[in-house]
Amino acid sequence: MNKLTNAMTVDVEDYFQVSAFEKVISRESWDEMPVRVEKNTHHVLDIFSENEVKATFFMLGWVADRYPGLVERICKDGHELASHGYAHLRVTSQTRAEFREDIQRTKGMLEDMSGYGVIGYRAPSYSIGKANLWAHEEIQEAGYEYSSSVYPVHHDLYGFPEAPRYMFKCREQLFEIPISTLPIGKRNIPIGGGGYFRLYPYSFSRWAINRVNDRENQSTLFYFHPWEVDPDQPKQDAGFKSRFRHYLNLKRMEARLRRLLKDFNWGRMDHVYLGKIPGEQDLKIN
């Protein structure tokens, strides 16, 4: 096992809240959908506990509002609580004022619920790119210390391929920590998790992470969603591309995740990237 510690992250949202289904499931109908995020997130927490892994959970305010027990357990189990915005609205779909209100509201709510400071933010669908870098200024002004909202790849829904591949200072008091990639030829290949982890053979993902750890001496940043360990979730009548991306290899995901947790060292983002010392930064806020 490589001695470097990589960052494990979870985007806490339900299957019906993903951007791929936004054209077939309206936000107004979310409260009518069969909810599975509570059970699935507890299952993820159980898996982490079994493997003695600490992670960062980017929580939707919508989920926290309805399932405060998840916030309580995430903090009680020693994980980092971070913000994913309130209702999974892409930055590109909001005005600057709307975005400001969203990230301030969610940060304040999570801190009030948990009693802990929330210093991390991740934009839904990695929706910060060249055209809306003003978002970093708003994130800093809201009091966050880091953002994990950039994916330096080409993609039809997101991507900022010109961005640095590793953590960089994007504002005076704010770091951006991109999802991990591996340069192959002239392109950055996504290796940071999600649907790509389900698409690739596990052997490729393991090789890619090892290569970044060993050849570049850098930690990798991995992410997934609770719905990805739930192959029995209700199926949606969406377009072929959306269904392919969402449902691909869901039955294999949990086994692959368990292998990943054993094959590498994992930790919270604030520990891995910001050098926070476990225990010292976890003091409750007033």
Q: pLDDT tens across 231-269, in order? A: 999 999 888 888 988 989 999 999 999 999 999 999 999
Which domains, from first to last, does the chain contain?
5-272 (3.20.20.370)
pLDDT of residue 3: 82
Q: pLDDT tens across 123-171, in order? A: 999 999 988 999 999 999 999 999 999 988 866 566 678 889 999 999 9
Q: How far is CA 53 from the centre of its chain?
A: 16
Entry pTM: 0.95
CB-based contacts of 223: which residues, under 8 Å, 6+ apart? 9, 10, 11, 179, 192, 193, 194
Q: Which residues of 99-125 are buried (b: 16+ CB within 10 A; e: fewer)?
A: bbebbbebbebbbebbebbbbbbbbbb
* Banded pLDDT at 224 (limits 50, 70, 90): very high
